[in-house]
Each structure stands twice: as structure tokens, then as C-alpha cells.
Amino acid sequence: MQRDKQPSGQDPSGAAAAPARDRSAGELAQAGTPEQCCVELGKLFKVRPNEVALLRLENGLLKFLCPSELSTAGSIPISSSTAVAAHTAVTKKIELFNNFTRVKHASIFESIKPGGEKSEELRPATIHKLMSAPIVDKADKVLGVVQICRKGFDLASSGPDFTLDDLQQLEAAAKALSHNSFMRARS
């Protein structure tokens, strides 16, 4: 069979994804603001900008840089046993959940409605699918966490599952984000 000759985890369409990944990583590294990064990540993963979370680690707390509605809502201690972002920061491992409602997690931030669009009130706030990646500098120090989610009324309406290719793209994006000055904690 032809399929057996493919390296594990790859298929013929995988080669086309690399140039897009490289281009997106470059755009993220050059983005001047967290909001610009979230817009680019939203385009890359075909999600709304408010389905992208960017958190910076400061004094043991993960603080939201975006979405902006969450930047004033509080922060997440990395010692939290229920926050996926904290787990990602502590373990320095990427994570993927295509049935996130079954995962024990802190849901306080899901209750905050994003602003901006008039139809926003009709949009569901339940996160059904989530990817999470640590943003780590060259010295292997955690700078923050980036998360991409898909929200919906139920699992089916939240869109397609995230794939291993999506997770690899998120890992590359996290590496690119580590070069942005806004990811460095303010002293």
C-alpha cells in the first residue's frame, strides 16, 4: 500500500502546510501588539479573534493580554490545579482537547462575554475544543501561554476538531511569539 510508505503522522497534503506555517510564524514575530497576534492566529486556525487567548507570565500569575475583555478580569496562578493554562505553563507541554467540556477546568473566564460585534450576545460562550501551548524563550523559561478554542452551542456546532497538524502549527506559533517584546514581563 502507498499509505504504509508515508512517515507516521504525515500524509501527502502535509507538505503544503509548511509554507503557510512559516509565513504565519514570521507575521507573528513581527506583530507589534498582542491584538495583532490574536488576529493572525485567528486567521491561521479559522477561529474568531476572541477564541484566541494570549497570556503572559508575571510573578507566578498568568495575565491575559487578549482577549481584551479578560485582561481586566483577573489572572490565573500557575499553582492552580484546575486551570489548563496553568498546567500548560508548569509542564511546558502542548495540549489538545476536542471534547473540552469533559475536562475539569476553571470556567470563570468563559462567563465573560466578548464585546465588539452587535450579534456577540447571541454567540455561545461554551468552549468545546481547545489547544494550549507554552511560550518559552531560548533559555527554556516560560513567558506565557497561547490558547486557541472553538466555541459553540454543542460539540457539533463548535466546528471541526483540531488536528495534530493544528497542534504543530500552534507549537510553531508559540515559538514565534517568544520573540515578541510584549511577551516579556514588565519590571
How does residue 11 score in pLDDT terms, banded at 50, 70 and 90?
very low
What residue numbers bound the domain in which 53 lies? Answer: 16-183
- Reported as a single tens digit per residue, the pLDDT across 96-144 is 999 988 887 666 556 556 554 444 445 446 889 999 999 999 999 999 9
CATH classification of the domain holding 144: 3.30.450.40
Identify whether 170 is part of a domain.
yes
pTM: 0.79
Q: Which of 153, 139, 155, 167 is nearest to 44 (CA)?
A: 167
Give the total number of structural domains in the chain: 1
Helix axes 34-45, 164-177, angle to 10 degrees: 160
Identify whether 1 is part of a domain.
no
Q: Residue 60 has what pLDDT?
A: 94
Mean pLDDT within 57-73: 88
Q: Residue 167 has what pLDDT?
A: 96
How does residue 155 score in pLDDT terms, banded at 50, 70 and 90?
confident
